[in-house]
Amino acid sequence: MRQRYAQQLTALLTPGMKVLLITLAYSSSEMIGPPFSVEEQEVYMLYQDNFEIKLLAIKETLADNSKLAARGVTSLWESVYLLERR
């Protein structure tokens, strides 16, 4: 499903267009999503051929997500990427 999303985004955006991509990352052994964990290397694998990728921010956000903590997640990282279509 992620690969189809990346392909659709590539098809919709023309060179120079920018979009923010926000991901959550946690140990998949602690919980099966949704929301689903997306690691940084997967972002690069999906988008690096068609986009310039810039990591704008990364923050530990478990304290703001009590529902995920209640589901057993012990660490939650939110990342914000700027993708610019080549």
Task: Give the range of the structural domain holding residue 25, as residue numbers without chain letter.
Answer: 2-85
Residue written as token pair 């659709």:
8
Closest listed residue to residue 77, CA positions, set 47, 49, 43 = 43
What is the residue-level pLDDT of the chain in tens, covering all 86 positions? 999 999 999 999 999 999 999 999 999 999 999 999 999 999 999 999 999 999 999 999 999 999 999 999 999 999 999 999 99
Give the global pTM: 0.93
Q: Domain tally for the chain?
A: 1
How distant, in Å, are the alpha carbons of 8, 16, 33, 39, 55 from that of 85? 12, 5, 29, 21, 15
Which H or E element spans position 79? Answer: strand 77-85
Query: What's the CATH code of the domain at 81?
Result: 3.40.50.150
Amino acid residing at 30: E
